[in-house]
């Protein structure tokens, strides 16, 4: 954590020292704000109860929400009604004091790539009070038809197998597809054509341009034994090395994880449908079965409190049912401490 954008590495005149480095995960979505090129995220519940001064503090140049892994069509334990939990996530987003500029959905909209599942998701997301939703497919969205249906409905303006980029208020967003043409024994894959496109897509950008990359399967090696990684992600990230701020947002693993490597922050979001086990803690990465009354405690909600100028960040994981866990990050040091405290 300590080496995260500590100094002005690219000589662009932007001093990032002193910016707070925040990251957080909400059970049903993360609210992200780009401030001075550094992405911060807040839980939806946190946003709803923020004071005016808090809101003023977090008001960035750009805000958006990430949701992931809706798995519409899944109907087994621990969540027989994944549409209901998606609607809860939507309600939380709609309750935000500042409407997000757009939503990112990082894949697995559906469970079985069925037209009816895509219909249900589409209908549910229509109630979102936002102008635009950007999608990338998960492996569950491209079953049987090589992703044709997904691309026709959710990726019309994309290139190749569904990748694309866009700019929002000085930040460059890159949506990638790493769930197609997977090879026996391998992990997620971007493929040669997409890698070439990435190199070309960023070549004329200034190194000071904040970059946000989003894709379904993690673009870092979370747990290769379970396929939680992408074979050629290093090459893709190589094209982004010269940028001062790169944020990588993924889904797929149905739990929050974070990692900082140089100027790159990696996040994974929780699912709106069901949890998956922590790496290696179960015979397989299949859906984690929890008692019905525990479902929302597993999904949980995360509050992030940041203090300007004090180089500290408190991440409060608040499940709907159960005690909160507070992690405090001391920034500007080689390592961060994670203090656990019930509240």
DSSP code of 227? T
Shortest CB 269 distance to another protein, Å: 19
Nearest distance in Å: CB 284, another protein: 4
User: Which of 147, 162, 285, 300 is close enough to bind another protein by CB under 8 A?
Assistant: 285
Residue 197, SS3? helix
d(CA 210, CA 1): 18
227 is an interface residue for another protein by CB under 8 A:
yes
Shortest approach of another protein to residue 273 CB, angstroms? 11
Q: Is 246 buried (19+), middle (13-18) or exposed (0-12) by CB count in 10 A? A: buried
Q: Which H/E stretch holds residue 30?
A: strand 30-35
Sequence-distant (6+) residues with CB within 8 A of 163 are 136, 174, 175, 176, 177, 194, 197, 198
Site string for another protein, 111-130 (x = CB under 8 A): xxx-----------------
Cα distance between residue 43 and residue 24, in whole Å: 7
CA angle 152, 156, 158 (to 5 degrees): 125
Minimum CB distance to another protein, residue 142 (Å):
9
User: Which 69-98 positions form the footprint of another protein (CB under 8 A)?
Assistant: 74, 76
User: Would you count residue 287 as binding another protein (CB under 8 A)?
Assistant: yes
Q: Which of 11, 283, 309, 342 binds another protein (CB under 8 A)?
A: 283
79 vs 209, beta carbon nearer another protein: 79
In this chain, which of 16, 21, 40, 140 binds another protein, going by CB under 8 A? 140
Residues that bind another protein (CB under 8 A): 74, 76, 111-113, 139-140, 143-144, 182-187, 224-227, 281-287
């Amino acid at each position: 954590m300590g080496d995260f954008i500590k100094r002005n590495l690219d000589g662009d005149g932007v001093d990032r020292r002193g910016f707070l480095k925040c990251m957080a995960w909400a059970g049903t979505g993360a609210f992200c704000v780009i401030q001075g090129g550094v992405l911060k995220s807040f839980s939806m519940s946190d946003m709803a109860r923020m004071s005016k001064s808090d809101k003023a503090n977090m008001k960035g140049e750009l805000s958006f929400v990430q949701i992931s892994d809706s798995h519409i069509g899944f109907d087994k334990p621990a969540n027989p009604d994944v549409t209901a939990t998606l609607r809860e996530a939507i309600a939380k987003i709609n309750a935000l004091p500042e409407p997000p500029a757009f939503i990112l959905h990082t894949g697995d909209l559906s469970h079985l790539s069925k037209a009816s599942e895509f219909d249900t998701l589409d209908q549910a997301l229509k109630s979102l009070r936002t102008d635009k939703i950007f999608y990338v497919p998960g492996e569950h969205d491209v079953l049987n038809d090589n992703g044709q249906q997904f691309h026709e409905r959710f990726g019309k303006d994309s290139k190749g197998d569904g990748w694309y980029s866009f700019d929002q208020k000085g930040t460059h967003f890159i949506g990638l597809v790493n769930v197609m043409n997977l090879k026996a024994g391998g992990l997620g894959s971007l493929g040669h054509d997409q890698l070439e496109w990435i190199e070309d897509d960023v070549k004329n950008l200034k190194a000071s341009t904040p970059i946000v990359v989003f894709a379904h399967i993690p673009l870092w090696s979370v747990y290769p034994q379970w396929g939680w990684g992408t074979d050629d992600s290093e090459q893709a990230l190589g094209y982004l090395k010269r940028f001062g701020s790169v944020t990588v947002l993924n889904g797929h693993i149905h739990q929050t994880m974070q990692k900082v490597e140089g100027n790159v922050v990696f996040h994974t979001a929780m699912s709106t449908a069901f949890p998956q086990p922590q790496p290696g803690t179960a015979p397989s990465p299949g859906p984690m079965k929890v008692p019905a009354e525990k479902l929302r405690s597993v999904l949980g909600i995360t509050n992030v409190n940041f203090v300007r100028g004090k180089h500290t960040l408190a991440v409060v994981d608040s499940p709907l049912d159960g005690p909160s866990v507070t992690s405090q990050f001391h920034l500007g040091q080689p390592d961060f401490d994670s203090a656990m405290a019930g509240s």
